[in-house]
């Protein structure tokens, strides 16, 4: 899927930033059970889309200190969401015997990547309202679909998520967060080869008995580098030059191929 | 060994890509066709986005047609004048075609149109070829020689105005005819990511009445330019030409074509045509199948172009 160039720091990103800020505030209004002793890191925070890129397996890990009482049930949820993009979802319908795209909806600023992992199934960790407020889990993904709330809207939403899961771009509860001795945790982060370029937010939320006690966000930058970046940028920014070069290269390559095959 | 494609924005196994090029090159060397009608669907089946498959296919065909056209040029098998008229028509057709392609991909019907066109054109041409070659095979078994077909004839188009003489093809026909044929094939080529030889060659023989020794060379000559125009237009309008993908496919195609040509020489003309007809029909049927069978998922997604 060809992606449009990333837009600048527009109104939408400002709005989402405010949203993030607001949700952070709401989290800190919940009195932390104890200090916010959460440290997180990732094995690689800059991922290069080089010629040999075939997806990346990262390791997100961290440590908790002084969180919760000994008897508390500690849970960790890690959600990673990629750069957003407007997506069109189409539905095929049978029209005079042929399956044809007939209905469509647009999802504004849908995350191009979303991965969720947790120590236990989400519904066992916290209440649905809590998770919804934290925007955690596939059911609570903030997908802005231009349809009125209806069964159709739900079907388009599920269709979108299903497609993203199939493309390997949405990973819902496929990876576990393993918690070792109430202090150390780690989880695998898998980026497929068709991962979009941009900034990824990895969010770590720590629950004690279903209540958020700590939260941390770290960034992962994914981008093309070197030759791949140059090719992509010329194609985007100077399409006429790119097109002419593509033709010229093809003419030369075809001539060279003829020359070689005669020998 | 994976290779990341910067325009398709995905990685494919490099050996798969070269193998794909070799397989299509093998068939094109064996049958003397461009193979675009096989390459574009195969790329789509390998997961390359349809728009990238079509645009990159055009880029690849430019390269492989140069190779073929040079060979025919040496044998004196290119009618430059007629070819250039076809290119003029093709330029208009491909402009319309890339515009139509961009429009259809906006409204979400590009795959439908690709499938329908493949079914229609490959189905009818494959069917005709199969009919003709099976009849020829049966005749050769019975031992009756084929009547030499009448070439040209006094058809309706001889009354058209703006006649022009094409010395190399020994034709005196209205210039409108090659212009329109060029435009139609250019339109198809832009939409389907093919060179259009499978339509152009029969049109040259049966409608224009060109002698067979200049048909393939002239067709290749015009395909170079028409696909070059198409590549350029797709690059400018949709940025979907992946040069790295097309170059790798070409590497495979060069070797495949050599092998194919060698094996093709050992087979009889009728056998070759029957085999090609079956492949053409097969691709057409496969495309049609996708239209009538309920899809695995009714929903599909695509980025909204800004």
Place of tokens 């961009």: B102
The residue of chain A nearest to residue B5, with distances taken between CA atoms, is A51
Q: Residue B266 has which token pair?
A: 């050992």
Residue B132, number of CB atoms within 10 A of its CB: 14
Higher pLDDT, B179 or B129: B179
Residue of B238, B254, B297 lying closest to A163 (CB–CB):
B297
Residue A129 has pLDDT above 70, yes or no: yes
Q: Identify from B57, B113, B298 which residue to disrupt to test chain A contact, counting A C-beta atoms within 10 A and taking the largest count.
A: B298
Residue of B234, B244, B303 lying closest to A85 (CB–CB):
B303
Question: Dihedral through CA A217, CA A219, CA A220, CA A223, nearest 10?
Answer: 150
Q: Could you tell me what percent of chain A has a pLDDT over 90? A: 43
Q: What is the arithmetic mean of pLDDT over B273-289?
A: 86
Can you give the C-alpha Rg of chain B in angstroms? Answer: 19
Q: Identify from A241, A254, A261, A263 which residue to disrupt to test chain B contact, counting B C-beta atoms within 10 A and taking the largest count.
A: A254
Listed in order, strand segments (DSSP E) in chain B are 2-5, 10-13, 163-166, 171-174, 299-303
Q: Do A231 and B303 touch (CB under 8 A)?
A: no
The residue of chain A nearest to residue B300, with distances taken between CA atoms, is A90
Residue B131 has pLDDT above 90, yes or no: no
| Band of residue A70 on the pLDDT scale cut at 50, 70, 90 | low
Encode pLDDT of B50-90 as tens digits: 889 988 999 999 988 888 888 888 888 888 899 999 999 99
* Nearest CA among B301, B295, B305, B299 for reference residue B115: B295
Residue of B11, B59, B250 lying closest to A257 (CB–CB):
B250
Q: Do B298 and A194 touch (CB under 8 A)?
A: no
Instruction: Give the model's pLDDT for residue B209.
Output: 83
| Band of residue A65 on the pLDDT scale cut at 50, 70, 90 | confident
Residue of B3, B62, B301 lying closest to A254 (CB–CB):
B62
Residue A5 has pLDDT above 80, yes or no: no
The residue of chain A nearest to residue B239, with distances taken between CA atoms, is A235
Residues of B in contact with A229 (CB under 8 A): 6
Residues of B in contact with A239 (CB under 8 A): 235-237, 239
Q: For all residues of chain B together, what is the average pLDDT?
A: 85
Cα angle vertex B141, ends B138, B145, to 5°?
85
Say how many CB pairs under 8 Å bridge A and B: 204
Domain membership of residue B300 (yes or no) is no
Q: What is the arithmetic mean of pLDDT over B13-41?
A: 87
Residue A30 has pLDDT above 60, yes or no: no
Contact in structure between B31 and B24 (CB atoms under 8 Å):
no
- Chain center to CA of B205: 16
Q: Where exactly are the structural domains of chain A?
A: 11-222, 225-263
Q: What is the arithmetic mean of pLDDT over B282-299?
A: 88
**DSSP 8-state symbol, B204:** I
| Calpha distance A158→A89 (Å, rounded) | 10
Q: Do B11 and A87 touch (CB under 8 A)?
A: no
Residue of A232, A240, A258 lying closest to B7 (CB–CB):
A232
Q: Do A162 and B11 touch (CB under 8 A)?
A: no
The residue of chain A nearest to residue B29, with distances taken between CA atoms, is A261
| Calpha distance A217→B200 (Å, rounded) | 60
Q: For all residues of chain A together, what is the average pLDDT?
A: 83
Q: Do B2 and A52 touch (CB under 8 A)?
A: yes
| Calpha distance B188→B182 (Å, rounded) | 10
Domain membership of residue B283 (yes or no) is yes
Instruction: Give the model's pLDDT for residue B180.
Output: 93
Determine the structural domain holding residue B87 and report its residue range.
2-143+153-292
The tally of domains found in chain B comes to 1
Domain membership of residue B137 (yes or no) is yes
* Nearest CA among A94, A106, A180, A182 for reference residue A144: A106
Q: Residue A209 has which token pair?
A: 């008995």
Encode pLDDT of B189-241 as tens digits: 888 888 888 888 888 888 888 888 888 888 889 999 999 999 999 999 888 89
Residue B280 has pLDDT above 90, yes or no: no
Beta strands A114-118 and B163-166: pairing type?
unpaired
Domain membership of residue B78 (yes or no) is yes
Domain membership of residue B39 (yes or no) is yes
Higher pLDDT, B31 or A69: B31
| Calpha distance B69→B74 (Å, rounded) | 9
Edge-to-edge order in the sheet of strand A198-208: A46-49, A211-224, A198-208, A74-81, A114-118, A170-176
Q: Among A43-52, A150-159, A215-224, B260-269, which is the least confidently predicted range?
A: B260-269
Q: Identify from B63, B64, B70, B305 which residue to disrupt to test chain A contact, counting A C-beta atoms within 10 A and taking the largest count.
A: B63
Domain membership of residue B263 (yes or no) is yes
Beta strands B163-166 and B171-174: pairing type?
antiparallel
The residue of chain B nearest to residue A240, with distances taken between CA atoms, is B236
A11-222 in CATH: which number? 2.60.40.3880
Per-residue three-class SS string for chain A: CCCCCCCCCCHHHHHHHHHHHHHHHHHHHCCCCCCCEEEEEECCCEEEECCCCCCEEEEEEEEEECCCCCCCCEEEEEEEECCEEEEEEEEEEEECCEEEEEEEEEEEEEECCEEEEECCCHHHHCCHHHHHHHCCCHHHCCCEECCCCCHHHHHHHHHHHHHHHHCCCEEEEEEECEEECCCEEEEEEEECCCCCCEEEEEEEEEEECCEEEEEEEEEEEEEECHHHHHHHHHHHHCHHHHHHHHHHHHHHHHHHHHHHHHC
SS3 state at B166: strand
Q: Residue A102 has which token pair?
A: 């007939």
Q: Do B236 and A1 touch (CB under 8 A)?
A: no
Q: Do A90 and B71 touch (CB under 8 A)?
A: no
The residue of chain B nearest to residue A236, with distances taken between CA atoms, is B239
Q: What is the arithmetic mean of pLDDT over A248-257?
A: 90
ipTM of the complex: 0.84
Instruction: Give the model's pLDDT for residue A251.
Output: 93
Q: Do A50 and B4 touch (CB under 8 A)?
A: yes
Higher pLDDT, B303 or A161: A161
Higher pLDDT, B226 or B115: B226
Residue A34 has pLDDT above 60, yes or no: no
Q: Residue B126 has which token pair?
A: 């494959």
Domain membership of residue B304 (yes or no) is no
Q: Do B231 and A85 touch (CB under 8 A)?
A: no
Q: What is the arithmetic mean of pLDDT over B138-155?
A: 59
Instruction: Give the model's pLDDT for residue B155.
Output: 62
Q: Do B11 and A53 touch (CB under 8 A)?
A: yes
Higher pLDDT, B153 or A167: A167
Residue A119 neighbours by CB under 8 Å, 6+ apart: A74, A75, A76, A77, A125, A176, A177, A178, A179, A185
Residues of A in contact with B228 (CB under 8 A): 247, 250-251
Q: Do A250 and B232 touch (CB under 8 A)?
A: no
Contact in structure between B208 and B153 (CB atoms under 8 Å):
no
| Through-space distance between the first and last CA atoms of chain B, rounded to whole angstroms | 34
Encode pLDDT of A193-244 as tens digits: 889 999 999 999 999 888 888 899 999 999 998 888 889 999 989 999 999 9
Q: Do B112 and A100 touch (CB under 8 A)?
A: yes
| Band of residue A24 on the pLDDT scale cut at 50, 70, 90 | very low
Residues of A in contact with B306 (CB under 8 A): 4, 7
Q: Do A93 and B298 touch (CB under 8 A)?
A: yes
């Amino acid at each position: 899927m060809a992606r449009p160039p990333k837009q600048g720091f527009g109104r939408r990103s400002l709005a989402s930033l405010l949203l993030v800020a607001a949700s952070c505030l709401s989290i800190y209004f919940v009195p932390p059970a104890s200090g916010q002793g959460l440290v997180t890191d990732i094995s690689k925070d800059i991922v290069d889309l080089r010629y040999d890129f075939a997806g990346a397996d990262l390791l997100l890990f961290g440590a908790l200190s002084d969180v919760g009482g000994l008897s508390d049930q500690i849970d960790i949820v890690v959600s990673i969401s990629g750069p957003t993009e407007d997506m069109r979802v189409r539905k095929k319908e049978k029209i005079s015997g042929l399956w044809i795209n007939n209905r469509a909806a647009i999802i504004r600023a849908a995350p191009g990547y979303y991965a969720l992992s947790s120590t236990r199934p989400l519904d066992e960790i916290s209440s649905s309202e809590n998770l919804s407020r934290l925007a955690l889990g596939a059911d609570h993904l903030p997908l802005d679909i231009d349809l009125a709330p209806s069964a159709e809207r739900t079907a388009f939403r599920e269709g979108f998520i299903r497609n993203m899961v199939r493309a390997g771009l949405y990973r819902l509860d496929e990876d576990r967060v393993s918690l070792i001795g109430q202090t150390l945790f780690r989880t695998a982060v898998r980026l497929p080869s068709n991962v979009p370029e941009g900034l990824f937010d990895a969010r770590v939320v720590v629950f004690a008995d279903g209540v958020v006690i700590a939260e941390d966000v770290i960034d992962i930058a994914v981008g093309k580098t070197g030759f791949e970046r140059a090719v992509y940028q010329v194609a985007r920014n100077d399409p006429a030059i790119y097109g002419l070069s593509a033709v010229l290269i093809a003419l030369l390559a075809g001539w060279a191929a003829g020359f070689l095959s005669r020998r | 060994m994976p290779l990341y494609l910067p325009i398709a924005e995905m990685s494919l196994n490099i050996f798969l890509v070269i193998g794909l090029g070799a397989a299509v090159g093998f068939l094109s060397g064996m049958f003397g066709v461009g193979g675009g009608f096989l390459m574009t669907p195969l790329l789509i089946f390998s997961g390359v986005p349809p728009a990238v498959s079509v645009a990159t296919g055009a880029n690849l065909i430019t390269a492989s047609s140069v190779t073929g056209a040079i060979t025919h040029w040496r044998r004196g098998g290119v009618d430059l004048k007629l070819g250039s008229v076809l290119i003029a028509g093709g330029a208009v057709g491909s402009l319309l075609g890339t515009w139509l392609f961009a429009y259809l991909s906006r409204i979400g019907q590009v795959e439908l149109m690709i499938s329908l066109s493949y079914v229609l054109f490959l189905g009818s041409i494959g069917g005709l070829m199969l009919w003709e070659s099976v009849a020829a095979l049966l005749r050769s078994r019975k031992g009756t020689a084929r009547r030499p077909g009448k070439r040209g004839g006094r058809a309706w188009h001889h009354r058209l105005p703006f006649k022009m003489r094409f010395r190399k093809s020994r034709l005196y026909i209205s210039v409108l005819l090659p212009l329109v044929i060029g435009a139609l094939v250019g339109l198809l080529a832009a939409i389907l990511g093919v060179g259009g030889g499978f339509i152009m060659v029969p049109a040259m023989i049966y409608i224009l009445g060109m002698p067979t020794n200049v048909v393939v060379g002239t067709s290749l000559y015009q395909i170079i330019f028409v696909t070059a125009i198409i590549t350029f237009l797709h690059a400018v309008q949709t940025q979907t030409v992946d040069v790295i993908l097309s170059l790798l496919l070409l590497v495979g195609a060069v070797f495949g074509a050599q092998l194919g040509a060698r094996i093709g020489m050992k087979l009889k003309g009728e056998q070759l045509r029957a085999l090609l007809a079956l492949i053409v029909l097969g691709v057409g049927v496969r495309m049609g199948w996708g239209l009538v069978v309920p899809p695995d998922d009714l929903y599909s997604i695509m980025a909204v172009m800004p």
